[in-house]
């Protein structure tokens, strides 16, 4: 029995609001309240840098803890399928 081929990867942005609690990551949401989801990782990283230029810049130069990230959405875990 063949397994279905997964679709192309999708990416979403997350930010850590409280640097003292590394467990609390939150999805970056658009004006409509839905998580921002991208088909291209480069586009996602560019948008993250546009929204959080200071945090991304600090991470680039290792001047603080990592507080932003782009993550790959696992097939079937897409929140906007609900």
pLDDT per residue over 9-42, tens digit each?
A: 899 999 987 777 767 899 999 999 999 999 999 9
- Alpha-carbon distance of 3 to 17, in angstroms, equals 39
Domain ranges, ordered by start, for the chain: 10-75
Of 2, 4, 26, the residue nearest 14 (C-alpha): 26
Distance set, CA 73 to CA 42, 49, 52, 62 (Å):
15, 19, 21, 26
Q: What is the pLDDT of residues 57-70, one digit of tens each?
A: 888 787 667 889 99
C-alpha angle 79-28-75 in degrees, rounded to nearest 5: 30
Q: What is the pTM of this model?
A: 0.74
Phi, psi dihedrals of residue 7, rounded to the nearest 5°: -70, 180
């Amino acid at each position: 029995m063949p397994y279905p081929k997964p679709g192309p990867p999708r990416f979403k942005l997350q930010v850590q609001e409280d640097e003292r609690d590394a467990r609390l990551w939150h999805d970056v949401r658009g004006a409509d309240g839905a998580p921002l989801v991208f088909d291209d990782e480069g586009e996602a990283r560019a948008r993250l840098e546009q929204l959080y230029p200071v945090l991304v810049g600090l991470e680039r130069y290792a001047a603080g803890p990592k507080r932003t990230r782009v993550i790959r959405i696992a097939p079937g875990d897409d929140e906007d399928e609900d």
